[in-house]
Structure 1
Amino acid sequence: MENIGLHWLVQVAPDPEAFREQWERTGLGLVLLPAGRRWDVLSVPGRLGRRALEILGTVLCGPVLTDSGEEHLGFLVPVGTAARWVGTGVRSAGEGTWIVVPHPERSSRSVRWLVPPDGSGRLTDPALLELGLHEAAAGLGGW
Protein backbone atom coordinates (compact mmCIF):
# COMPACT_ATOMS: atom_id res chain seq x y z
CA MET A 1 0.00 0.00 0.00
CA GLU A 2 1.35 3.41 -0.98
CA ASN A 3 2.08 5.89 1.78
CA ILE A 4 0.08 9.01 0.89
CA GLY A 5 2.10 11.13 3.32
CA LEU A 6 5.27 10.11 1.49
CA HIS A 7 3.64 10.82 -1.87
CA TRP A 8 2.62 14.30 -0.66
CA LEU A 9 6.11 15.09 0.66
CA VAL A 10 7.99 14.15 -2.50
CA GLN A 11 5.81 16.35 -4.72
CA VAL A 12 8.26 19.18 -3.97
CA ALA A 13 11.20 17.27 -5.50
CA PRO A 14 12.28 18.12 -9.06
CA ASP A 15 11.32 14.60 -10.22
CA PRO A 16 8.87 13.35 -7.57
CA GLU A 17 8.43 9.80 -8.86
CA ALA A 18 12.15 9.11 -9.25
CA PHE A 19 12.82 10.69 -5.87
CA ARG A 20 10.15 8.56 -4.15
CA GLU A 21 11.45 5.38 -5.76
CA GLN A 22 15.02 6.16 -4.68
CA TRP A 23 13.90 7.02 -1.14
CA GLU A 24 11.98 3.74 -0.87
CA ARG A 25 14.68 1.63 -2.56
CA THR A 26 17.66 2.94 -0.61
CA GLY A 27 15.91 2.79 2.73
CA LEU A 28 17.30 6.19 3.68
CA GLY A 29 15.62 7.59 6.73
CA LEU A 30 16.41 11.23 6.00
CA VAL A 31 16.44 13.33 2.83
CA LEU A 32 16.75 16.99 1.91
CA LEU A 33 13.64 18.56 0.42
CA PRO A 34 13.13 22.14 -0.74
CA ALA A 35 10.93 24.39 1.36
CA GLY A 36 8.87 27.13 -0.24
CA ARG A 37 7.18 25.00 -2.91
CA ARG A 38 4.20 23.50 -1.09
CA TRP A 39 5.08 24.48 2.47
CA ASP A 40 7.38 26.61 4.55
CA VAL A 41 8.72 25.61 7.97
CA LEU A 42 8.73 27.60 11.20
CA SER A 43 11.24 26.20 13.69
CA VAL A 44 10.30 26.97 17.29
CA PRO A 45 12.31 26.33 20.47
CA GLY A 46 11.35 22.90 21.82
CA ARG A 47 9.73 23.77 25.12
CA LEU A 48 7.62 26.53 23.57
CA GLY A 49 6.78 24.43 20.51
CA ARG A 50 5.72 21.40 22.54
CA ARG A 51 3.42 23.56 24.67
CA ALA A 52 1.95 25.24 21.56
CA LEU A 53 1.35 21.80 20.01
CA GLU A 54 -0.45 20.71 23.19
CA ILE A 55 -2.60 23.85 23.06
CA LEU A 56 -3.47 23.50 19.38
CA GLY A 57 -3.75 19.72 19.36
CA THR A 58 -3.01 17.55 16.37
CA VAL A 59 -6.41 18.35 14.83
CA LEU A 60 -5.38 21.96 14.23
CA CYS A 61 -1.77 21.24 13.26
CA GLY A 62 -0.34 20.11 9.99
CA PRO A 63 2.86 18.08 9.97
CA VAL A 64 5.32 18.81 12.79
CA LEU A 65 8.98 17.72 12.91
CA THR A 66 11.36 17.57 15.83
CA ASP A 67 15.04 16.93 16.31
CA SER A 68 16.39 14.13 18.49
CA GLY A 69 16.52 16.15 21.70
CA GLU A 70 13.29 17.99 20.90
CA GLU A 71 15.27 21.23 21.08
CA HIS A 72 13.27 22.56 18.12
CA LEU A 73 9.90 21.79 16.57
CA GLY A 74 9.29 22.53 12.89
CA PHE A 75 5.71 23.38 11.95
CA LEU A 76 4.87 23.04 8.25
CA VAL A 77 2.94 26.17 7.27
CA PRO A 78 1.64 27.67 3.99
CA VAL A 79 4.12 28.95 1.41
CA GLY A 80 5.03 32.57 2.00
CA THR A 81 4.73 32.39 5.78
CA ALA A 82 8.52 32.28 6.27
CA ALA A 83 8.99 35.57 4.43
CA ARG A 84 6.36 37.36 6.55
CA TRP A 85 6.95 35.80 9.97
CA VAL A 86 8.32 38.06 12.68
CA GLY A 87 8.98 36.37 15.98
CA THR A 88 11.79 36.23 18.48
CA GLY A 89 13.53 32.87 18.56
CA VAL A 90 11.60 31.45 15.58
CA ARG A 91 13.63 30.43 12.54
CA SER A 92 12.01 30.05 9.17
CA ALA A 93 12.67 28.07 5.99
CA GLY A 94 10.99 29.18 2.80
CA GLU A 95 11.80 29.56 -0.87
CA GLY A 96 15.45 28.87 -1.62
CA THR A 97 16.05 26.74 1.48
CA TRP A 98 16.15 23.00 2.07
CA ILE A 99 15.18 21.02 5.15
CA VAL A 100 16.00 17.55 6.46
CA VAL A 101 12.88 15.40 6.34
CA PRO A 102 12.45 11.90 7.79
CA HIS A 103 10.56 9.18 5.98
CA PRO A 104 6.97 9.18 7.30
CA GLU A 105 7.13 5.46 8.15
CA ARG A 106 10.73 5.08 9.34
CA SER A 107 12.21 6.27 12.55
CA SER A 108 15.41 8.23 12.69
CA ARG A 109 17.51 9.14 15.68
CA SER A 110 18.12 12.70 14.48
CA VAL A 111 14.77 13.93 13.10
CA ARG A 112 11.27 12.51 13.48
CA TRP A 113 7.63 13.43 12.97
CA LEU A 114 5.51 14.40 15.96
CA VAL A 115 2.58 14.89 13.58
CA PRO A 116 3.33 13.01 10.34
CA PRO A 117 2.00 14.20 6.99
CA ASP A 118 -1.27 12.48 6.15
CA GLY A 119 -1.28 13.32 2.44
CA SER A 120 -4.20 15.73 2.71
CA GLY A 121 -2.03 18.82 2.26
CA ARG A 122 -3.18 20.18 5.60
CA LEU A 123 -0.72 22.70 7.04
CA THR A 124 -0.66 24.60 10.31
CA ASP A 125 -2.50 27.92 10.06
CA PRO A 126 0.07 30.63 10.92
CA ALA A 127 -2.51 32.75 12.76
CA LEU A 128 -3.49 29.81 14.98
CA LEU A 129 0.17 28.94 15.52
CA GLU A 130 0.89 32.52 16.57
CA LEU A 131 -1.98 32.43 19.07
CA GLY A 132 -0.80 29.06 20.37
CA LEU A 133 2.76 30.36 20.76
CA HIS A 134 1.56 33.45 22.64
CA GLU A 135 -0.53 31.32 24.98
CA ALA A 136 2.34 28.88 25.43
CA ALA A 137 4.81 31.69 26.19
CA ALA A 138 2.42 33.22 28.73
CA GLY A 139 1.96 29.84 30.42
CA LEU A 140 5.70 29.23 30.51
CA GLY A 141 6.40 32.60 32.07
CA GLY A 142 8.13 33.96 29.00
CA TRP A 143 9.87 30.55 28.57
Structure 2
Amino acid sequence: MNGTAAARRAVEWLVAVAPDPAACRREWERRADGVALLPAGRAWDVLILPGVLGRATLDVLRRCLDRPGPVLEGFDEDRVGFLVPPGTAGRWLGTGVRAAGRGTWIVVPHPGRRGAGRVRWLVTPDGTGLLTDPALLEIAMHEAAANLTED
Protein backbone atom coordinates (compact mmCIF):
# COMPACT_ATOMS: atom_id res chain seq x y z
CA MET A 1 0.00 0.00 0.00
CA ASN A 2 1.39 3.43 -0.89
CA GLY A 3 1.76 6.35 1.50
CA THR A 4 -1.34 8.16 0.23
CA ALA A 5 -3.59 5.15 0.82
CA ALA A 6 -2.06 4.65 4.28
CA ALA A 7 -2.64 8.32 5.11
CA ARG A 8 -6.28 8.06 4.00
CA ARG A 9 -6.81 5.01 6.22
CA ALA A 10 -5.16 6.80 9.14
CA VAL A 11 -7.36 9.87 8.61
CA GLU A 12 -10.50 7.72 8.56
CA TRP A 13 -9.44 5.89 11.72
CA LEU A 14 -8.68 9.14 13.57
CA VAL A 15 -11.75 11.13 12.51
CA ALA A 16 -14.02 8.23 13.48
CA VAL A 17 -13.71 9.44 17.10
CA ALA A 18 -14.60 13.05 16.28
CA PRO A 19 -18.11 14.28 17.12
CA ASP A 20 -18.20 15.68 13.56
CA PRO A 21 -15.71 13.85 11.28
CA ALA A 22 -16.28 16.28 8.38
CA ALA A 23 -15.52 19.26 10.63
CA CYS A 24 -12.33 17.55 11.79
CA ARG A 25 -11.20 17.06 8.18
CA ARG A 26 -11.95 20.73 7.42
CA GLU A 27 -10.00 21.79 10.50
CA TRP A 28 -6.95 19.83 9.36
CA GLU A 29 -7.17 21.36 5.90
CA ARG A 30 -7.76 24.99 6.87
CA ARG A 31 -5.23 25.30 9.67
CA ALA A 32 -1.66 26.14 8.67
CA ASP A 33 -0.32 24.03 11.53
CA GLY A 34 -2.33 21.02 10.32
CA VAL A 35 -3.77 20.06 13.71
CA ALA A 36 -7.24 19.30 15.08
CA LEU A 37 -8.58 18.45 18.53
CA LEU A 38 -9.80 14.89 18.98
CA PRO A 39 -11.35 13.28 22.05
CA ALA A 40 -9.35 10.64 23.86
CA GLY A 41 -11.08 7.67 25.49
CA ARG A 42 -13.08 6.42 22.53
CA ALA A 43 -10.69 4.49 20.27
CA TRP A 44 -7.55 5.25 22.26
CA ASP A 45 -6.12 6.89 25.36
CA VAL A 46 -2.77 8.65 25.44
CA LEU A 47 0.05 8.15 27.94
CA ILE A 48 2.29 11.21 27.84
CA LEU A 49 5.91 10.92 28.97
CA PRO A 50 8.65 13.52 29.37
CA GLY A 51 10.45 13.88 26.03
CA VAL A 52 13.80 12.24 26.84
CA LEU A 53 12.16 9.23 28.49
CA GLY A 54 9.49 9.01 25.79
CA ARG A 55 11.99 8.96 22.92
CA ALA A 56 14.16 6.41 24.75
CA THR A 57 11.05 4.28 25.39
CA LEU A 58 10.15 4.43 21.70
CA ASP A 59 13.68 3.28 20.84
CA VAL A 60 13.22 0.25 23.11
CA LEU A 61 9.81 -0.53 21.58
CA ARG A 62 11.25 -0.32 18.06
CA ARG A 63 13.84 -2.95 18.99
CA CYS A 64 11.09 -5.26 20.31
CA LEU A 65 8.29 -4.78 17.79
CA ASP A 66 7.89 -4.70 14.04
CA ARG A 67 5.75 -1.60 14.51
CA PRO A 68 4.69 0.15 17.70
CA GLY A 69 1.35 1.91 17.88
CA PRO A 70 1.01 5.61 17.02
CA VAL A 71 3.26 8.01 18.90
CA LEU A 72 2.99 11.81 19.08
CA GLU A 73 5.69 14.31 19.96
CA GLY A 74 4.86 17.74 21.35
CA PHE A 75 7.50 20.44 21.30
CA ASP A 76 6.01 22.99 23.73
CA GLU A 77 6.62 20.87 26.79
CA ASP A 78 8.91 18.31 25.19
CA ARG A 79 6.47 15.42 25.60
CA VAL A 80 5.92 12.10 23.82
CA GLY A 81 2.45 10.53 23.75
CA PHE A 82 1.76 6.84 23.14
CA LEU A 83 -1.69 5.86 21.91
CA VAL A 84 -2.89 2.96 24.04
CA PRO A 85 -6.21 1.10 24.40
CA PRO A 86 -9.16 3.07 25.80
CA GLY A 87 -9.51 2.73 29.55
CA THR A 88 -5.75 2.64 30.15
CA ALA A 89 -5.67 6.23 31.41
CA GLY A 90 -8.08 5.42 34.24
CA ARG A 91 -5.90 2.57 35.48
CA TRP A 92 -2.43 4.03 34.92
CA LEU A 93 -0.27 4.87 37.91
CA GLY A 94 3.13 6.30 37.15
CA THR A 95 5.16 9.22 38.40
CA GLY A 96 5.76 11.83 35.73
CA VAL A 97 3.38 10.20 33.23
CA ARG A 98 0.23 12.07 32.24
CA ALA A 99 -2.76 10.01 31.20
CA ALA A 100 -5.39 11.36 28.81
CA GLY A 101 -8.60 9.35 28.57
CA ARG A 102 -12.34 9.90 28.39
CA GLY A 103 -13.21 13.56 28.89
CA THR A 104 -9.92 14.91 27.54
CA TRP A 105 -9.02 16.27 24.12
CA ILE A 106 -5.72 15.82 22.31
CA VAL A 107 -4.07 18.01 19.67
CA VAL A 108 -3.58 15.67 16.72
CA PRO A 109 -1.69 16.50 13.52
CA HIS A 110 -2.94 15.34 10.14
CA PRO A 111 -1.29 11.95 9.52
CA GLY A 112 -0.60 12.52 5.82
CA ARG A 113 1.09 15.88 5.73
CA ARG A 114 3.77 17.72 7.56
CA GLY A 115 2.30 20.65 9.43
CA ALA A 116 3.98 23.69 10.86
CA GLY A 117 2.56 23.03 14.31
CA ARG A 118 4.04 22.08 17.61
CA VAL A 119 2.94 18.44 17.41
CA ARG A 120 4.10 15.75 15.00
CA TRP A 121 3.86 12.00 14.57
CA LEU A 122 6.91 9.95 15.52
CA VAL A 123 4.94 6.84 14.52
CA THR A 124 2.02 7.67 12.25
CA PRO A 125 -1.18 5.66 12.69
CA ASP A 126 -1.65 3.06 9.96
CA GLY A 127 -5.45 3.09 10.11
CA THR A 128 -5.76 -0.48 11.38
CA GLY A 129 -6.34 0.49 15.00
CA LEU A 130 -2.92 -0.79 16.12
CA LEU A 131 -2.15 0.60 19.59
CA THR A 132 0.74 0.14 22.00
CA ASP A 133 0.16 -2.53 24.63
CA PRO A 134 0.33 -0.75 28.03
CA ALA A 135 2.16 -3.65 29.73
CA LEU A 136 4.82 -3.66 27.01
CA LEU A 137 5.01 0.13 27.21
CA GLU A 138 5.64 -0.07 30.95
CA ILE A 139 8.43 -2.61 30.51
CA ALA A 140 9.99 -0.48 27.75
CA MET A 141 9.77 2.59 30.01
CA HIS A 142 11.63 0.77 32.79
CA GLU A 143 14.34 -0.37 30.39
CA ALA A 144 14.62 3.11 28.88
CA ALA A 145 14.86 4.71 32.34
CA ALA A 146 17.56 2.24 33.36
CA ASN A 147 19.50 2.97 30.16
CA LEU A 148 19.21 6.71 30.72
CA THR A 149 20.43 6.32 34.29
CA GLU A 150 23.47 4.38 33.10
CA ASP A 151 24.34 7.10 30.58
Does TM, normalized by the shorter one, top 0.5?
A: yes
Structure 1 pair 24–139 and aligned structure 2 pair: CA distance change class (3 A): closer
Q: What fraction of aligned residue pairs are identical, expressed as a percent?
A: 58
Q: Is contact 2:15–2:25 with CA below 8 Å preserved after alignment?
A: no
Report the equivalent of 1:119: 127
Structure 1 pair 142–11 and aligned structure 2 pair: CA distance change class (3 A): farther
Report the equivalent of 2:102: 95
Deviation sequence 1:72-129 (CA, Å, 0-9, x none): 1000000000000000100010000001000112223300000001101000000000
Report the equivalent of 2:50: 45
Structure 1 pair 95–142 and aligned structure 2 pair: CA distance change class (3 A): farther
Report the equivalent of 1:83: 90
Is there any run of 5+ residues in structure 1 with no aligned partner, and where? none
Cα distance in 1, alignment partners of residues 144 and 52 from structure 2? 9
Write the letter of the residue equivalent to 1:95: R
Q: Is contact 2:50–2:80 with CA below 8 Å preserved after alignment?
A: yes
Report the equivalent of 1:19: 23
Q: Is contact 1:32–1:100 with CA below 8 Å preserved after alignment?
A: yes
TM-score by length of 2: 0.85
Cα distance in 1, alignment partners of residues 145 and 70 from structure 2? 21
TM-score by length of 1: 0.90
Cα distance in 2, alignment partners of residues 139 and 21 from structure 1? 40
1:25 CA displacement:
4.5
Q: CA RMSD in A?
A: 2.1
Cα distance in 2, alignment partners of residues 21 and 48 from structure 1? 32
| Comparing 107-116 and 89-98, the one that deviates more | 107-116
Pair 1:138 & 2:142 matched? no
Q: Is contact 2:24–2:36 with CA below 8 Å preserved after alignment?
A: no
Q: Is contact 1:65–1:112 with CA below 8 Å preserved after alignment?
A: yes
Is there any run of 5+ residues in structure 2 with no aligned partner, and where? none
Q: Is contact 2:109–2:120 with CA below 8 Å preserved after alignment?
A: yes
SS in structure 2 of the partner of residue 141 of structure 1: helix
| Comparing 62-71 and 74-83, the one that deviates more | 62-71
Write the letter of the residue equivalent to 1:105: G
Shift >6 Å, 4+ stretches: none
SS in structure 2 of the partner of residue 106 of structure 1: coil
